[in-house]
Amino acid sequence: MDDQVLSQTYAAALPELSIPWQADAPPRPELLWLNEELAGELGLDPEQLRTPDGIALLTGQVDEQGCPRPSLAHAPEHPFTTAQVYAGHQFGNPNPQLGDGRAVLLGDLRGPAGSRHDLHLKGAGATPFARAGDGKAPLGPMLREAVVGESLHALGVPTTRALAVLGTGEQIAPRQGVTPEPGAILVRAAASHLRVGTFEYAAWHLGTEVLERLVEYAIERHHPAARAAANPSLSLLEAVVQEQATLLAQWMLVGFVHGVMNTDNMTISGEGIDYGPCAFLDRHRHGAVFSSIDRGGRYAYGNQPGIALWNLSRFAETLVRLIDEDPDVAVEQATAVLERFEPTYLDAYARGMAAKLGIPTADGGGRLDAVRSMGAEVLALLEEQQVDHTGFFRALSDGDPSALFADPTPFRAWHERLLELRGAGPAADEARAGMMRANPVHIPRNVHLDAALRAAHLGDLDPVLTLLDAVREPFERRAEHAHLEGPGDGGEDFLTFCGT
């Protein structure tokens, strides 16, 4: 940690889009969980993070240079940490100003591999963007984000990750019910916190010059190849469209439901972010909704690819003035890029489905068309007969999952065609072996995650730590985690909340 230097490159490049803001000092901070693997990737020493200086850093108690200040009695006159402002479309409706209402950007750092990451604190107290909130975060939702992020990462899905979860030593106003909840801070690592909503704020409120600097910063940070393109803004749009199409395909394949795909929750980096009302499918359902606030099902499981394209269209709108001086020409060029989302998504989805089904795809497009058809057919069977999504694909990897179906006859007919499509030979053998690396045993099952978070609320972290251990090795079946494999009882009626 001594050699690690925090920067505020975003605030330096775009002071119009953040403000200096000091994180609240928690009364009795306690490190509850530290992601040692991630700490190493970031170039941080886990043992130093456990010291008073480390706790000060992880709670945002830093001086004007970003150095830990555990013994200082007063906040710095010029805070190093910042709160970001952004806008967004929430459930399809534009909100002109959102922002880090209960969070601060601790800073960004360059890890040993050369990549730059943000460190961001959630639950660090109210900022000017808090919209009447108290800026606090309860322990349960912060642990949820840690578990979900680690699960997605282990599944190979691009995601922000939790570096640490700390208790603040205070009881905060409840988010549901009347009983106070233990307060917590999540320390999140991200490629950056640039969102579609960041560009919306700049486009709606600031001039072209600021928007140009934002594009330059995003290109430099995430998509440097766009810098040399004939039209860098259009190239940035193309890169983000491709990244998001691939991300959405991965979400759909593992049965992940984000829950609140507002434009302020879509990153320019292509990472998933903000895991509040989110869940994984138990029973396969196209219309599955686990968010208490998504009463109309806008962000249901099966709607996610379409919503991603809708969000990307809003991103494209912010870039029109930079793509071409002639708005008609700019819209035509942006539309052509947006039209690539669907084929990119379908290709990524088909290749992922082929891996889950054990089908070799070396011969290209013709085989992928068959994969799409076979995938759609079996998912319809899963929904019709209320079969578990993750359990089915893992059972298919292990052998014959026909016992999962109330009426196995249609599945067996489908399975015969699958065996024919797989074929024989070394490529087929390799594809079948690869199923074990494509179909997990462990995901954060709704019932098990909820039970673990309730135990943490009462002071017992062991169930959360056990669940983390399971989902971080998702493809391994271990006897000590056998109780976490299945969906349990009541998961279909499960609801999640924002935690704000």
Q: 414-459: per-residue pLDDT in tens?
A: 999 999 999 899 998 999 999 999 999 999 999 999 999 999 999 9
Average pLDDT over residues 479-495: 84
CB-count burial class (<10 Å; 0-12, 13-18, 19+) for 9:
middle
Coil, strand or helix: which one is 90?
strand
The pair of three-digit structure tokens given for residue 9, joined into one six-digit string: 């490159």
Strand partners for 257: 279
Give the pLDDT band (50/70/90) at residue 362: confident
Residues 174, 303: Cα–Cα separation, whole Å? 31
The pair of three-digit structure tokens given for residue 412, joined into one six-digit string: 């067996």
The Cα-based distances of 10 to 7, 51, 115, 483 in angstroms read 9, 28, 15, 45
pLDDT at 500: 42
Q: To which H or E segment does residue 201 belong?
A: helix 196-205
Contacts of 447 (CB under 8 A, 6+ apart): 487, 488, 489, 490, 491, 494
Quote the longest CA-to-CA distance of the chain: 72
Contacts of 410 (CB under 8 A, 6+ apart): 381
pLDDT at 357 over 60: yes
pLDDT at 363 over 70: no
Which phi and psi (to 5°) does residue 297 adopt?
A: 75, 25
Coil, strand or helix: which one is 125?
coil
CB atoms within 10 A of CB 165: 29
Coil, strand or helix: which one is 78?
coil
Give the pLDDT band (50/70/90) at residue 133: confident
pLDDT at 269: 97
Give the pLDDT band (50/70/90) at residue 491: low
The Cα-based distances of 416 to 178, 290, 395 in angstroms read 56, 35, 16
144-148, 315-319, 364-368, 437-441 — which is least confidently predicted? 364-368
pLDDT at 496: 67
Task: Find, among 468, 196, 452, the residue nearest to 312 by Cα.
Answer: 196
Give the pLDDT band (50/70/90) at residue 494: low
pTM: 0.96
Chain center to CA of 175: 22
pLDDT at 292: 84
pLDDT digits (tens, 9 = 90+) for 465-476: 999 999 999 999
Residues 284, 388: Cα–Cα separation, whole Å? 6
CB atoms within 10 A of CB 306: 15
pLDDT digits (tens, 9 = 90+) for 48-98: 999 999 999 999 999 999 999 877 667 788 999 999 999 999 999 999 999
Which phi and psi (to 5°) does residue 22 adopt?
A: -90, 130
Chain center to CA of 427: 33
The pair of three-digit structure tokens given for residue 103, joined into one six-digit string: 């969070």
In the set 264, 274, 294, 324, the catalytic residue is 264
Instruction: Enter the DSSP assignment of 402.
Output: G
| Residue 62 near residue 106 (C-beta atoms within 8 A) | yes
Helices (H), 206-340: 208-222, 232-254, 304-323, 327-338
What rounded mean pLDDT belongs to the chain?
A: 94
Residues 104, 124: Cα–Cα separation, whole Å? 7
CB atoms within 10 A of CB 95: 18
Average pLDDT over residues 11-26: 96
Average pLDDT over residues 134-161: 96
pLDDT at 1 over 70: no
pLDDT at 314: 98
pLDDT at 304: 98
Write out the DSSP string of 37-67. Answer: HHHHHTT--HHHHTSHHHHHHHTT-B-TTS-
Q: The tokens 């929904």 sit on which residue? A: 383
pLDDT at 77: 87
Whether 282 is a known active-site residue: answer no
pLDDT at 493 over 70: no
pLDDT at 174 over 90: no
Strand partners for 195: 267
Residues 479, 374: Cα–Cα separation, whole Å? 33
pLDDT at 482: 96
Instruction: Enter the DSSP assignment of 468.
Output: H
pLDDT at 498: 55
pLDDT digits (tens, 9 = 90+) for 373-387: 999 999 999 999 999
pLDDT digits (tens, 9 = 90+) for 98-109: 999 999 999 999
pLDDT at 417: 96
Q: CA torsion angle for 461, 183, 132, 125 (degrees, to 10)?
A: -120
pLDDT digits (tens, 9 = 90+) for 273-325: 999 889 999 999 999 999 888 889 999 999 999 999 999 999 999 999 999 99
